[in-house]
Amino acid sequence: MLRSLSKREQPESRVVFVDSLDANAAFKYKGNSICTGKYNLFTFLPKALYEQFRRVANIYFLSVAIISLFPAISPIEPYTIWTPLILVVGLSMAKEAVEDYKRHKQDKEQNTTLTERFNGTSMTQCEWREVRSGDLVRVVRDQAFPCDLVLLASNLDDRVCYVETKNLDGETNLKLKRGVEGMGKVVDGGNAILAAMSSNKACHVECEHANNSLYTFTGNLDATREVYDGSPFEGDVKKISLQPVNVLLRGSSLRNTEYVIGIAIYTGHDTKVMMNSSAAPSKRSTVERGMDQIVLAMLALLVIICTVTAVVCGLWIKDESLDHWYMNTVVADMVFDPSDSTTVGLVAFLTSYVLYGYLIPISLYVSLEFVKVCQAMIFLNNDKRMYHAETDTPMRARTSNLNEELGMVNTVLSDKTGTLTCNSMEFFKCSVAGVSYGEGVTEIERNIAQRQGRILSAPSSAKAIEPGFNFKDKRIDNGAWMGLPNDGDIREFFRCLAVCHTVIPEGEPNPDTISYQAESPDEAAFVVAAKRFGFFFKTRNTSGVDVEEPSGKGGGVRDAHYDVLNILEFNSTRKRMSAIVRTPEGKITLFCKGADSIIYDRLAYGNQKYTEPTQAHMDDYAASGLRTLCLAKRDIPEAEYAKWNEGYVEAAQAMEKRDEKIEACAEAIERDLYLLGATAIEDKLQDGVPRCIAQLMKAGMAVWVLTGDKQDTAINIGQACSLIRQDMEMHVVNMDELVRQEADREITRAKFDALARESVRRQIAEGTNKIEALKFAQSGKEMSLVIDGRSLSFALEKEIAPMLLDLGCACTSVVCCRVSPLQKALVTGLVKDSGRTTLAIGDGANDVGMIQAAHIGVGISGQEGMQAVMASDFAFAQFRYLERLLLVHGRYNYKRIAKMVTYFFYKNLAFGLSLFYFNLTSQGSGQIIYNDWLMSAFNVLMTSFPVLALGCLDQDVNQRSCLKFPRLYKQSQNNECFSTIVKLGWAANGVYVSVINFVFVFYLIHGGEADSSAGHVFGLWEVGTQLYTGIVITVNLQMAQMINYWTWIHHACIWSSIAIWYACNIILSTTDPYWSTYSYTIFHTSVGPTSKYWAGIPLLVAAGLLPDLMYRGLRRALYPEYHHLVQEHEAKHRGRGESKGVSAPGAETGDLESGGGGDDGASPPRRERDDRLARGGVVGVGVGVGVTASPVKPGTLTGATPDPSSAHHTPREETTSLKDYLDQVARGAEEDPDDEGFAWRPRPTRETGSRPPSQFSSRPSSRPPSGGVN
């Protein structure tokens, strides 16, 4: 046995001996068993309790429960404190246990899955958890890989295999993995070769230590002569370089290959997929953080009133208790010892600390968790309006913690490709040998022209000829290119398309039936284009690729084999890919494709024919919204290649800084290129993107698009999707001239950096000045900012970043082009740190950093895998669903949670302070006025159900109005329902209800006279019953005043809560006194038969609710908020009989059958009336109490702003009454054909002239929720 190595003795790299248990044991590599659970049988109790008591409120309740165990101090029986605490904590722990059990169950399924490993003589079955580092493992078709393996060989002739990584990164296209060079014997030689390999310690893998990088791997395999069958070598051991293409990762599966054999290198929690399974960043909503502040404030209030009580008790015991001889305090113990007032005060403080604990709602966290789960699982996940039928993708809320944060978004940061666009690439145009080819008009060109009022006669690009190919041009179609003057360069262009890629062909090698598995849609489009032009990529093997291509001008074809010597892969830093091949003519040629800025920097100086026309064509393509890529080539002399390849092999085998060394080799060979031309790929906008962005911007959200496209492409796509409008001022920050000077070597790199930094600073300052000028002119004009990646790298520096942030936040929209994934995350973090609530949305792995950096991350399940979805908080299939997610669900959830939290503290203040008042009346003695059980039941039974119904179901306006009037979103965006003023208002209301109930009960209803005709006077417990009744009914009916959307569930919850109160009284009144304590016989024999008790209830309730009701009515009448106006708009339609029935509870899931807010359920007359109202909006409103609202400027409801420069803009427009204005807009208006049916341009009327255009949806309004005001 080898001794274990200490940490200091561990090698710099990981060494894994093949199938040698003793040799590998010294390194203490982790086993292959995994555990993703948080707990086990021994750690569950301590860990789960720790999680629960990290909450301040739970710590408080625990301290109260502990103090209640001391009868001398606690005025309450311990079980009435411990029971609800155990119930609440127990429910939360049970939820944790169930979730963790599911994780352990999944772990067990994986750990006990069967695979095969070599035992020294043959392959035998074993469980995954038995696999060790160094084992030789065989995986058969359609099985998953048990650990990270180095692929030695497969059963296929070229020793490759096909792998599906869907469970790893979500991508469904197959990946090609290659066996290690020269290791075919492990398949051909059978068990003898495997035995020879496992018995010789010279056979080992040296690689990097375990890490979480899925797409990189550095290592070497040392193989002896008896197992290596490659080219001859000197010495006893052959060192073979290992690349990422040689590694099979746990989490992926074998496809289209019978079996593979590999060496286990990383096992268990050392595997790359497990090292990527770290918990997502913890995100908490603004309301939740505000709730913590309220809890702390309530604790501070608790300490204050406990201190007041302690002082009152101590002073009274010391100064006055002796005068009350009947209390006999002279012989009292320390609790009421007149000679030790300090101890008396301390005991009184602790007693009050227990007694006033009802100020803190013990059920708040559980109720909040329940409501959030219902919002996420029932309403969000089942919303049919966010279900994408084409891909069978429903909306998925991956967390419920941020439901209400969806209603507070200030800035949306979006990727472009695959997020705003379909990421379904189509080869549309190309520039070859200085000539542009391709006909048709892109969707983006057509959208821009339509918005500018121009009509394009060119054919649309709507229907593709073949998936990935939408190109038409008779000049080069069907082999016509062979008759052109530059046919040689054109041939090389098509060769580059057919050879320079990593695509895997599938199926029969027939142009009509073959399919291509590509790492990106662009690559697939290039290969399909090459096929359509006559260069049919048929097969790929270990030596190269086979292409069927034209043999010459005679029209014949030939099978050409290209030996692929090296592949220099694409990444976001290189922005290019190269393939070095030996052509059928025997030449060594490098084909390269990449971004124009990268390729142009590497062109041979003075030997270019097509640089200027190609650049002009690419600019035109970018202006049409097309994605461009340059293609170039270089013929390499044999001697130069041989020398370069030696260095490349050495770099590929390096264990340190391998990537840097390979990149240096790539730089050395990718030079002196000859430009062949450029491609133009169309990526069409997703359906509904322009409308969605317009709605978000009307709702007050700034939209930032972060894309890797060229500036012109980004601007034109921004214009096509309503991000950049014609009426906007556009400010562009770039440094094109400096980049040109650096490229032409007119300035040094150091001088470029200095000049660029100053240029960016100056341009940002100019943009800020423009904003100030627009504000000063009061023109109402908005500004958009466009900044490129090079400029952004300087703008994100510490000194300039605040300037960029100020400018970006002042703009309505921002477009950052040519940005890297890191820059996306940095920009998101910059905006987030400014205090603005950010939402990042993307679809690819390059968007993960941005998604995790934002307050809210949204993943699009598109063409680039599921990594963005797996890192997100919410996920769906189409960008347009973001409109509904934010404007409907986000707004509803915010208002519900805000109301819920404030109401919780309102009712607890009303109840808890009544205990304080009575305790002061009893000189701080700790005497209670309510039954112990009833006090504990206040939060759990008497008031919990109505607030749950409100948190799940309330709607102040219907869903159609949320979308029709996006300005409604600003109320939640500005946190108006959870502001300091609102919280103080609810606190004041709670104090008022407690005071009015206490004063009325003690000094008015039961002020000293007899309480019944028999002369009976209520005692302590009867008066307490009256006081409890008044508070319970008041706070429950206060909930009724808050509800905007009544359903049978609300009625059941409110009235049943009141009924539960009476049921508890009856039960306790007739239960054995041991359990019922002070409530025995109180209700059914004393309180219930007394008419004064019943007569006092309406007085208490009316006095408690009247101020709030008056405030709501006066505010609605004199200072209506925006949603009040919309409610009146809905009520007007309801009053005309234009809506049938109230929206059913299924409405929020978008179910038209159940009365949901659909678009198509309105009759034509109703649709017309709604459309007309949407054009001009409601001007003023009247409320049900007969008070007419103050006049509101036309366009207020719709959010339109009259143009002061308009000749028709008169003061009269701003004082039009509701009736007159509605009459005017009812006279007619016309739809604006240029705005996709949701923006409108009213006709001029004789009374008011020309109305400003509305910015709102033409979709009709559904019936609003009934009842109440907000």
CB neighbour list of residue 945: distance below 8 Å, 6 or more residues apart: 1053, 1054, 1056, 1057
How many Cβ atoms sit within 10 Å of the Cβ of residue 202?
14
The secondary structure of 165-181 as a DSSP string is -HHHH---S-EEEEPPT
Strand partners, 784: 730, 813
Q: Is 252 helix (H, G, I), strand (E, B) or coil?
A: coil
Alpha-carbon distance of 1253 to 739, in angstroms, equals 43
| Active-site residue, 415 included | yes
Max intra-chain CA distance, the chain: 128
Q: For tokens 């070598």, what's the residue?
A: 233
Decide if 1136 contacts 1122 (C-beta within 8 A). no
- The rounded Cα 279 to chain-centroid distance in angstroms is 15
Which spans in 796-928 are helix H?
Answer: 801-810, 821-833, 848-853, 867-870, 881-884, 891-921
Beta-strand pair 729-733/783-788 = parallel
Alpha-carbon distance of 728 to 939, in angstroms, equals 54
The CA R_g of the chain, rounded to the nearest whole Å, is 37
Beta-strand pair 588-594/627-636 = antiparallel
Tokens of 489: 């360069």
Decide if 410 contacts 701 (C-beta within 8 A). yes
Alpha-carbon distance of 287 to 854, in angstroms, equals 17
The DSSP element (H or E) to which 535 belongs, if any, is: none
Strand partners, 220: 206, 241
How many Cβ atoms sit within 10 Å of the Cβ of residue 542?
14
Q: Whats the size of the chain, residue-wise?
A: 1270
How many Cβ atoms sit within 10 Å of the Cβ of residue 1131?
18
What's the number of CA atoms in the CB half-sphere (13 Å) around residue 279?
7
Decide if 1262 contacts 704 (C-beta within 8 A). no
How many Cβ atoms sit within 10 Å of the Cβ of residue 45?
11
Beta-strand pair 783-788/813-817 = parallel
How many Cβ atoms sit within 10 Å of the Cβ of residue 1143?
23
Q: Cα-flanking dihedrals φ and ψ of residue 272, to 5°? A: -65, -40
Q: Is 870 helix (H, G, I), strand (E, B) or coil?
A: helix
Q: For tokens 């054995």, what's the residue?
A: 1072
Alpha-carbon distance of 565 to 646, in angstroms, equals 12
Among 270, 383, 415, 489, the one annotated catalytic: 415
- How wide is the angle at C-alpha 1036 spanned by C-alphas 1030 and 1041, nearest 5°? 115
Alpha-carbon distance of 293 to 358, in angstroms, equals 17
Decide if 18 contacts 197 (C-beta within 8 A). yes
Strands, sheet with 253-255, edge to edge from the N-terminal-most edge strand: 175-178, 160-164, 253-255
The secondary structure of 623-672 as a DSSP string is HTT-EEEEEEEEEE-HHHHHHHHHHHHHHHH-SSSHHHHHHHHHHHHS-S
The secondary structure of 683-743 as a DSSP string is -PBPTTHHHHHHHHHHTT-EEEEE-SS-HHHHHHHHHHTTSS-TTSEEEEE--HHHHHHHH
The secondary structure of 311-365 as a DSSP string is HHHHHHHHHTGGG-GGG-GGG--GGG-TT-HHHHHHHHHHHHHHHGGGGS-TTHH
Instruction: Give the catalytic positions in this structure.
Output: 415
